[in-house]
Amino acid sequence: MGTASESSSDSGDVTVVGPHDRAEVELSVNGVRRLAEVEPRVTLLDLLRDHLDVTGPKKVCDRGTCGACTVLENGRLVYACSRLAVEAGGAEITTVEGLGTPDSMHPLQAAFVEHDAQQCGFCTPGFVMALSHLLEKQPNPDDDEIDRALSGNLCRCGTYQGLRDVAHSGVKVVSTGQASGDGIGGRRG
Amino acid sequence: MADYSWPAPGTHQTLGRRLSRLDGPVKATGAAKYSYDKALPGMLHGKMLTCPHAHARIVALDVSGARSMPGVRAVRVIQDVGSEIQWAHDEIVAVAAVSEDIARDALRAVRVEYEVLEHYVIEEDPNGTFEKKEPQERSQGDPDAGFASATTVVERELAIPQIAHMCLEAHGQVAEWQGDEVTVWASTQGVSTLPQQFVDGGLETKAANVRIRCDYMGGGFGAKFSPDRWGIVGAQLAKDAGAPVKMFLDRDQEVAVAGSRPSTFAKIRAGATADGKLVAWESETWGSGGRPGTGAVPVPYVFNVPNQRKKHTSVPTHLQSSRAWRAPNHPQACFLTMATLDDVAAELAMDPLDFVLANLELTGRFEATYREQLEIAAERTGWRERWRPRTEFDDGPLQRGLGLSLHTWGGRGHQSRCDVAVNPDGSVEARIGTQDLGTGTRTVIAMVLAETFGLEIDQVTVRMGDSRFPQSGPSGGSSTVGGVTGSTRRAAMDALREVFTRVAPMLEAEPETLVARGGRIEVDGDSTRSMTWQEAASRIGAVAVTVGGRNPGRGKLNDSGVGGVQIADVTVDIETGVTRVNKLLAIQDCGLVVNEKLAESQIYSGLIMGVGYALFEELIADPHSGRLLNADMEFYRLAGIGDVGTLEAVLMQGPEHQERGVIGLGEPPVISPGAALSNAVANAIGHRVPRLPMTPERVLETLMAAEAAEALEEKA
């Protein structure tokens, strides 16, 4: 475990860390405050999956080209593979687990089940986040809006028909990105 | 003697219903743990060094830098000095370290020297191959006489390239030893078959000591039948290090070595008489599935043209050995054939639907099925009202077109065993060593239990994904649904009969007169003599009734052989070359439909993968470096939600289909989309784009070539 050394510049709160030193990262994941020490090169995705055992977001391309790692960071849709853990310090992260559990699903997740919008399920967490973000802003999207909002997520099994049905189902999504200490699960729509 | 059957049509309680898949909630909430998600205390991360050259010999290898790196716990040489590497990304060294990043650091510390050899990766020119194979020739009838009698002969060169499986969950596993026993959480299509394969692959242990676990897996499509070299070495690293090892491929490896579908290049001649009857087919094909080349695809597809001559040459290339890709060989054969026949119809100025109908007797066994499916498809798309010949165009750059294709598949249920237990408290459980690829296997097994015992689906439990459970076949060939429903049904019926035997005296009836319906056991036709399922189960005694069932077995529960018709509706922009899919319609039979909602999803799945290989997907090898240029998800394009248009799935149902029993559905729907879309584009723009995928570039090239040819003709 290395030590952080302070920058010699006048920028005050900048801490310079060597590549194999560990930096402290503190963030909120699904409403729960989490702490970790990771090398700067660790992505937000690897922080979530390997250090915090939040395995909903999946590692597929690791290059920001498939959307399987889509999460919300301070209410913004991001690819967790394309964010460094140290960049996400202080942020509120919402993953698919933050919306609901199998026994207490968010209505959006229940809609996924009802309309069979998952097959192997590996792309599903990313699509849940992307759709939650769309439906929160636009509860009645047309096909063009759906296509555009989901254009950052790929599915190999072919769940697009089910996803469209979910998007047209009228399911309500409210404030999924604003976890505020409600514990794991955050707000329900 | 016991006999087994499905309930008569019209009497189903659960079968056929649109029940949601049982694992929907865990998948939609991220609670489902895939092998990729498995974490164990002290788990190490495995990564592999691969060769950057398509053809090379290892002349020097020094792993000491990796071995001595802090955090590295085990190193194994996979291919040593002297080994000949025959495709880029082939595995050389594997390391296990305390983090993925340190594992990569360790790989960078390995010193390897290659003698780079000449490579060959562009099979389009078969003459450049390093290993000439003898062509295979087959013929039937008298092709020369056939062509002589033809009034119309069409000659075409068509091509369909190598593509990837592109499973979203990469190949890999987590392996953990406890003494001499190893548990492997694998992303696999073959839970029951993997243990022996580990031993065959060189893992030093007994098959009985290998336990495979796979609860959820992120896609296989035919690529995940083997532990693969990385599975063997991952387990070996775990033994060496005395700690669990997680070994998953990176995406570039996944694309380059973990699954491809072979190519076929074709020169085809087809002849027909003036009344539209096909009389002759001649084809010269070649193709590659990487290092071993590839065999002939079944052309002419579906239509058994009376006079045929076919010659095929397998062309090895320095690329990964191909694997079974959903409906192996059929998508290629279907495209080559349906495109050619569509061109023959156009030469004859015939509506392709009429042309297909005129030749339908050549389809043999499924003629009546196709006739019915074609009628439904035509009616649903308004084909007769909307189809126009290729020579008619819309005003402006947007051209609309319709295209048609037929396909066939087998889908017989594979070997399967299932134990069904009825507990004295009424709970029912199936234990079966099968896997759910996202196909709904878990759900259909539960539905068979619910149907048989007259229970609701939440009253039954399915335990699967463990090689310690009764063995079931690997999920390939669309054989799973028939296999697992067969074994489960037989086991469940036998278990039910045992319950009947125990409770019959209390109902003053013979056991054979009892039925299980709506949560009750009752005398058929006399509901006054009945009891609840729970009451009946409580009469079992102290221990569960457990019965094993098998497939195949007595009674007709499943079958093989389906048809399928698809129609594509496209709009092509002849200025940009972009093809927009307006609609894809699939008419599909599959015998007894176990779950209508999940069956429709399988059809949509095939259609969407079809849009992928029709418009976007191809593996692009660089002739200079021998490497793939698009071993990633950016330049190897999967279809996105905006690319697929409106999808419509029509399942053939009704007593005559139900009576056939369960037939597999996973593969048939992916066979025709390439052909149907190619035909729709040809109908739209008036010319055949000869090569899939029909990228905008290829569409524009086709148009420019046609324009140039017409200009030359006018000059002549």
Partners of residue B174 on adjacent β-strands: B185, B246
pLDDT at A131: 98
Residue B453 near residue B492 (C-beta atoms within 8 A): yes
Q: How far apart are CA B221 and CA A120, in angstroms?
A: 11
Residue B550 near residue B484 (C-beta atoms within 8 A): no
Task: Please tell me the distance in Å from B205's CA to the nearest CA on chain A.
Answer: 30
pLDDT band per the 50, 70, 90 thresholds, residue A20:
confident
Answer yes or no: do A116 and B32 touch at CB < 8 A: no
Residue B570 near residue B638 (C-beta atoms within 8 A): no
Q: Which two tokens stand for residue B127?
A: 């003459």
pLDDT at A176: 52
Burial class (CB in 10 A: 0-12, 13-18, 19+), B422: buried
Which candidate, A100, A118, B289, A138, places its Cα nearest to that of A147?
A138
Mean pLDDT of B611-615: 98
Which candidate, B222, B223, B664, places its Cα nearest to that of B478?
B664
pTM for the whole structure: 0.96
Burial class (CB in 10 A: 0-12, 13-18, 19+), B372: middle
Q: How far apart are CA A89 and CA A186, in angstroms?
A: 19
Residue with tokens 């077995």: B553
Phi, psi of B493 (to 5 degrees): -65, -40
Answer yes or no: do A156 and B609 touch at CB < 8 A: yes
Q: Where in chain B is the domain with CATH 3.30.365.10?
A: 24-32+413-551, 260-411+559-715
Answer yes or no: do B641 and A146 touch at CB < 8 A: yes
Using alpha carbons only, what angle is made at residue B11 by residues B538 and B523, rounded to the nearest 5 degrees?
40
Answer yes or no: do B640 and A62 touch at CB < 8 A: no
pLDDT band per the 50, 70, 90 thresholds, residue A175:
confident
E-strand stretches of B379-507:
398-406, 416-422, 428-431, 460-463
Collect all residues of chain A within an 8 Å Cβ-Cβ radius of residue B169.
Answer: 58, 60, 120, 122
Q: Where in chain B is the domain with CATH 3.90.1170.50?
A: 35-118+171-248
pLDDT at B379: 98
Task: Please tell me the distance in Å from B587's CA to the nearest CA on chain A.
Answer: 16
Collect all residues of chain A within an 8 Å Cβ-Cβ radius of residue B644.
Answer: 160
pLDDT at B673: 98
Q: How far apart are CA A100 and CA B389, in angstroms?
A: 54
Answer yes or no: do B633 and A53 touch at CB < 8 A: no
Answer yes or no: do A158 and B604 touch at CB < 8 A: yes
Answer yes or no: do B608 and A95 touch at CB < 8 A: no
Residue A81 identity (one-letter amino acid): C
Residue B346 near residue B560 (C-beta atoms within 8 A): no
Q: Which two tokens stand for residue B114?
A: 């290659």
Residue with tokens 């030093």: B204
Calculate what percentage of chain B has a pLDDT beyond 90: 99
pLDDT band per the 50, 70, 90 thresholds, residue A70:
very high
Answer yes or no: do B251 and A159 touch at CB < 8 A: no
pLDDT at B716: 76
Partners of residue B568 on adjacent β-strands: B403, B584
Collect all residues of chain B within an 8 Å Cβ-Cβ radius of residue A157.
Answer: 219, 438, 605
**In CATH terms, is domain B35-118+171-248 a member of 2.40.30.20?**
no
Q: Is pLDDT at B131 greater than 60 in this prediction?
A: yes
B693's torsion region: left (phi>0), alpha (psi -120 to 50) or beta?
beta
Collect all residues of chain B within an 8 Å Cβ-Cβ radius of residue A116.
Answer: 20-21, 24, 597-598, 600-601
- The strand pair at B264-272 and B152-160 is best described as antiparallel
**What is the third-level CATH fold of B260-411+559-715?**
Aldehyde Oxidoreductase; domain 4 (3.30.365)
CATH code matching the domain that covers B24-32+413-551, chosen among 3.30.420.40, 3.40.30.10, 2.160.10.10, 3.30.365.10: 3.30.365.10
Please tell me the total number of residues recorded for chain B in this structure: 716
Task: Please tell me the distance in Å from B148's CA to the nearest CA on chain A.
Answer: 46
- Cα distances from B163 to residues B227, B264, B519, in angstroms, run 22, 11, 50
Residue B420 identity (one-letter amino acid): V
Residue in chain B nearest A111 by alpha carbon:
B28
Mean pLDDT of B582-603: 98
Q: How far apart are CA A123 and CA A116, in angstroms?
A: 13
- Considering only CB atoms, A162 lies closest to which of B36, B601, B638, namely B601
pLDDT band per the 50, 70, 90 thresholds, residue A179:
very low
Which residues have a Cβ under 8 Å from the Cβ of B629 and sit 6 or more positions away?
B620, B621, B622, B635
Residue B612 near residue B638 (C-beta atoms within 8 A): yes
Collect all residues of chain A within an 8 Å Cβ-Cβ radius of residue B39.
Answer: 50, 53, 55
Answer yes or no: do B640 and A122 touch at CB < 8 A: no
Collect all residues of chain A within an 8 Å Cβ-Cβ radius of residue B185.
Answer: none
- Considering only CB atoms, B25 lies closest to which of A105, A156, A157, namely A105
Which candidate, B86, B8, B2, B4, places its Cα nearest to that of B50?
B86
Mean pLDDT of A98-111: 98
Least confident among A3-12, A21-30, B101-110, B224-233: A3-12
B329's torsion region: left (phi>0), alpha (psi -120 to 50) or beta?
left
Which candidate, B638, B646, B648, places its Cα nearest to that of B669?
B648
Task: Please tell me the distance in Å from A141's CA to the nearest CA on chain B.
Answer: 14
Asked if the peptide bond before residue B552 counts as cis, ω within 30 degrees of 0, the response is yes
Answer yes or no: do A147 and B644 touch at CB < 8 A: no
pLDDT band per the 50, 70, 90 thresholds, residue A19:
confident
- Considering only CB atoms, A161 lies closest to which of B26, B101, B647, namely B647
Mean pLDDT of B376-387: 98
Q: What is the pLDDT of residues B301-330, one digit of tens each?
A: 999 999 999 999 999 999 999 999 999 999
Tell me what the pLDDT averaged over chain B comes to: 97
Residue B531 near residue B507 (C-beta atoms within 8 A): yes
Answer yes or no: do A156 and B20 touch at CB < 8 A: no
Q: What is the pLDDT of residues B61-79, one digit of tens each?
A: 999 999 999 999 999 999 9
Q: Is pLDDT at B428 greater than 80 in this prediction?
A: yes
Instruction: Give the side-chain half-sphere CA count within 13 A for B485.
Output: 33
Residue B53 near residue B232 (C-beta atoms within 8 A): no
The full 3-state SS of B517-531, as one line of letters, equals ECCEEEECCEEEEEE
Q: How far apart are CA B186 and CA B473, in angstroms?
A: 16
pLDDT at B173: 98
Q: Which two tokens stand for residue B145?
A: 């006489």
pLDDT at A12: 59
Strand order in the sheet with B579-589: B398-406, B565-573, B579-589, B646-652
Answer yes or no: do B25 and A159 touch at CB < 8 A: no
Q: What is residue B346's three-state secondary structure?
A: helix
- The strand pair at B84-85 and B398-406 is best described as unpaired
Mean pLDDT of B563-579: 98
Tell me what the pLDDT averaged over chain A comes to: 88
Residue B418 near residue B485 (C-beta atoms within 8 A): no
Collect all residues of chain B within an 8 Å Cβ-Cβ radius of residue A95.
Answer: 30
Residue in chain B nearest A55 by alpha carbon:
B37
pLDDT at B1: 55
Q: How far apart are CA B92 and CA B83, in angstroms?
A: 9
Partners of residue B463 on adjacent β-strands: B431
Q: What is the pLDDT of residues B500-536, one digit of tens each?
A: 999 999 999 999 999 999 999 999 999 899 999 999 9
pLDDT at A13: 67
Q: How far apart are CA B244 and CA B213, in angstroms?
A: 14
Total beta-carbon pairs less than 8 A apart between chain A and chain B: 177
Phi, psi of B138 (to 5 degrees): -140, 145
Q: Which two tokens stand for residue B490?
A: 């037989």
Residue B612 identity (one-letter amino acid): G
Answer yes or no: do B168 and A150 touch at CB < 8 A: no
Which residues have a Cβ under 8 Å from the Cβ of B494 and sit 6 or more positions away?
B2, B420, B547, B549
Answer yes or no: do B605 and A63 touch at CB < 8 A: no
Answer yes or no: do B24 and A116 touch at CB < 8 A: yes
Collect all residues of chain B within an 8 Å Cβ-Cβ radius of residue A118.
Answer: 21, 24, 27-28, 438
Residue in chain A nearest B221 by alpha carbon:
A157
Q: How far apart are CA B176 and CA A188, in angstroms?
A: 39
Q: Which two tokens stand for residue B290?
A: 């990487």
Q: Is pLDDT at A153 greater than 60 in this prediction?
A: yes
Answer yes or no: do B28 and A96 touch at CB < 8 A: yes
Classify residue B281 by its DSSP letter.
E
